[in-house]
Amino acid sequence: MSTAAPAGMRLRVQRLLQAATLEPAGLPPAAVLVVRSLSDPLPGRIAPRPGEVRAPAEWERAVRAALADRWRSAARPGRGPVPAGANAVFFADTAEMIASFARDACAGDVGKWWWKALMKELPGAPVAALTALWAREARHVPAALEHLAGTDDAGRVAAALPPAEAARILAAVALAFEAPSLLAAPRLTLVSDVARSPSAEPGGDRVTPSAFTSGSGRADGLPARAATPLGRPRGVPSPTAAPWAGLLPADAVPRGLAPEQEALVGLGLVLHRAPLVARGTPFVARFVRWRAQAAAPLHTPADRRSDSDAAAGTGADLTTPRAPIPRSTPLAEPESASRPEAARRGTDADDPMHGADPHAIDPPPSTAAAEKEREVWMEARASTDPQLPKPSHPLDEADQAEDGTERAPAEIVVKVVSSATPPAKNEARLPAEEAEPWEVRVFSPPVDEARVASGACGVFFLVNVLRSMDFFRLLDEHFGVAPVVGGWGWVELAARALLGPDAAGVADDPLWRLLAEVDGREPEELPGTGFPPVSIARLPDAWIELFGGAPPSPKSSPLLGMEGSAELRRFLDLVTPVLRARIGAALRAAGLDPDEGLESALFRREGTVDATRTHVDVHMGVDQVTLPIRLAGLDANPGWVPELARVVTFYFA
């Protein structure tokens, strides 16, 4: 046989397999099944006649049955060791797979048979392969970190990533969750030199070292440049509280990580457990401030070591001042040690997110002053004197700086004093935006796997409705609503408000329990707890257009199966008419009268729902979707929804 014959045969078989339907019945769409070997269940039947473009139906059924057997006996690397003779492995979703890969990469063991196909697409070195895989699957990294946190492996994996690689993954995650503002950092400038207070007594001079101010952004409205991915030496904490403090358990983010490694774990867990919180203005401000201060306070110009030395782990000598890091380094593009210093300071050409920023970090006037500043900082950090203020928080915002010059409203000044002299009255207070406008609670992990049969699968059509209204963004940017309600909580509240208390046949549907679990609530916990008062002056213009330019009056919207606080009901009374008008306009355009009731027109749909940490898959029969719903686009696949931290997909069969 010629060499061309086997190649042609392989190509023909490949085409037949690509056209075949081989997924075993019952296998969740989000699952990943890797089979080591599979014998042909019907030898010689894949293409009985030349020119066949599709394998026979009986051959496909036989292969599906064989794969189902492999699935039922498959090992799960994400939940324990794999037996030596295992012929198949199974992952519930992509997050579980990349979490398992991370464990093996940290152990230097990516040669296992189930990784061979994956490694063909990745660099050969384990850490490089892990970085490439996590950057590619960035939307699933927060859920993977949740998997790793459950086995106390999150810190070990983060520590194995060089800070520059952790920064690369962090940038990819922020962009995948459509939160590029997390990549910005306040402008850093030196606002004072080492100065002695004239009122201090001899021998007890109060020293205010050079401090960094953090501006609110650029004059043109764009966020300031991204902070460097390299900064504070490993294990030295930031002088301000971590942005996830109070949102995650105290031990959720391991100690001793470099700032970018710590940021990856902390931000990842918050994005998975409470994506609306992580994308909201208060958290973003805290995260940006924390990262800027994590990089800035320990840097002085006396040491010109390159950041690549720190990344390579050449040792962080806390007694040696270090050079300030250029603000212009984009987070997604860690600087290279081979680039000259002038180039690393950043220009329009090498900063893909922002234009030129004329404000540079000016060095102190002398090395002696820098050394003194460093000594003061280390004295304050190391002291056990309870009277000596620690550099743990930024100062309160003030209208003027200490030298009398005007300061931007959002500036933060980190100061340290070198004696036991008590600080000024407001020197230890957090800035106004550090205080949460709502009662902070610790968020629990959402359910990892669940399946329910429901008679109200049409509730998931609301995902398309809310996104078409830009609802989640406007909650934060227009209404200023504190993110005490999760994304899935808003889907549930919208459904309960639209259904109303008379939809008794839906009140006990297991769907409500599932929505609570994917939202990270206890199964019986209703959404909206702690909803704060909201002052609303005007609806968004796009919403008003639904009513011909005349804003609707609030209308009482009783909720199905719950009461809700007075503040929550007041807000829903304003929003529910807009939701109803948006759905009504779509259904009328498709030829259906929504006045007959949304319960029958939209929500009552029989089916099953599979949920994992990364996916929500809604399965319905083809008879469960009407032509008006299809024409209105309500059954279109939402796909990746950052506000819900899930891929949402509808299946009709």
Residues 552/571, Cβ–Cβ less than 8 Å: no
Give the residue-averaged pLDDT of 402-414.
36
User: How far is Cα 323 from Cα 605, in angstroms, rounded to an integer?
Assistant: 63
Q: Is the pLDDT of residue 520 over 60?
A: yes
Cβ-proximal residues to 609 (8 Å cutoff; 6+ apart), any chain? 450, 451, 452, 454, 457, 460, 511, 514, 616, 617, 618, 619
**Does residue 356 belong to any structural domain of this protein?**
no
The partner residues of 646 in beta bridges, in order of sequence, read 641
Do 249 and 314 belong together in one domain? yes
Do 44 and 157 belong together in one domain? no
**Does residue 315 belong to any structural domain of this protein?**
yes
Do 530 and 601 belong together in one domain? yes
**Does residue 137 belong to any structural domain of this protein?**
no
**Does residue 128 belong to any structural domain of this protein?**
no
**Does residue 320 belong to any structural domain of this protein?**
yes
- Give, in degrees to the nearest 5, the angle at Cα 521 between 515 and 527: 70
Tens digits of per-residue pLDDT, 311-321?
Answer: 333 333 322 33
Do 551 and 591 belong together in one domain? yes
Do 423 and 471 belong together in one domain? no
For 368-392, give the secondary structure using H, E and C: HHHHHHHHHHHHHHHCCCCCCCCCC
Range from 148-157, 383-392, 480-489 carrying the lowest mean pLDDT = 383-392
* Three-state DSSP state, 534: coil
Evaluated on CA atoms 95, 99, 101, 102, the torsion sign reads: positive
Q: What is the DSSP letter of 252?
A: S
User: How far is Cα 389 from Cα 330, in angstroms, rounded to an integer?
Assistant: 34
**Does residue 596 belong to any structural domain of this protein?**
yes
Do 399 and 424 belong together in one domain? yes
pLDDT of residue 185: 61
Do 527 and 634 belong together in one domain? yes
Q: What is the DSSP letter of 242?
A: -
Residues 513/523, Cβ–Cβ less than 8 Å: yes
In percent, the amount of the chain with pLDDT more than 70 equals 65
Q: Regarding predicted confidence, which is higher, 410 or 178?
A: 178
Range from 200-204, 352-356, 431-435 carrying the lowest mean pLDDT = 352-356
Do 498 and 400 belong together in one domain? no
pLDDT of residue 40: 81
Do 477 and 414 belong together in one domain? no
The amino acid sitting at 299 is: H
Tens digits of per-residue pLDDT, 38-82?
Answer: 888 777 667 666 666 677 788 788 888 889 889 899 999 999 999
Of 443, 121, 417, 510, nearest in space to 273 by CA: 443
Do 179 and 296 belong together in one domain? yes
Residues 603/456, Cβ–Cβ less than 8 Å: yes
Do 156 and 241 belong together in one domain? yes
pLDDT of residue 578: 94
Domain total for the chain? 3
Cβ-proximal residues to 90 (8 Å cutoff; 6+ apart), any chain? 31, 32, 33, 34, 71, 74, 75, 76
Tens digits of per-residue pLDDT, 561-612?
Answer: 999 999 999 999 999 999 999 999 998 888 887 766 788 888 999 999 999 9
Q: Say how many C-beta atoms besides its own lie within 10 A of residue 627's C-beta.
A: 10
Q: In Å, what is the CA distance from 531 to each residue of 38, 525, 527, 566, 567? A: 55, 14, 9, 9, 7
Domain-ending residue, one of 411, 434, 457? 434
Helix axes 259-273, 141-150, angle to 10 degrees: 100
Domain-ending residue, one of 64, 80, 96? 80
Q: Is the pLDDT of residue 387 over 50?
A: no
User: How far is Cα 104 from Cα 85, in angstroms, rounded to an integer?
Assistant: 19
User: How far is Cα 465 from Cα 477, in angstroms, rounded to an integer?
Assistant: 19
- For tokens 């719950």, the residue is 562
Do 555 and 429 belong together in one domain? no
User: How far is Cα 487 from Cα 463, in angstroms, rounded to an integer?
Assistant: 9
Indicate whether this model's pTM tops 0.75. Answer: no
Domain that holds residue 220: 143-200+210-338+370-434
Domain-ending residue, one of 80, 105, 132? 80
pLDDT of residue 162: 96
**Does residue 95 belong to any structural domain of this protein?**
no
**Does residue 127 belong to any structural domain of this protein?**
no
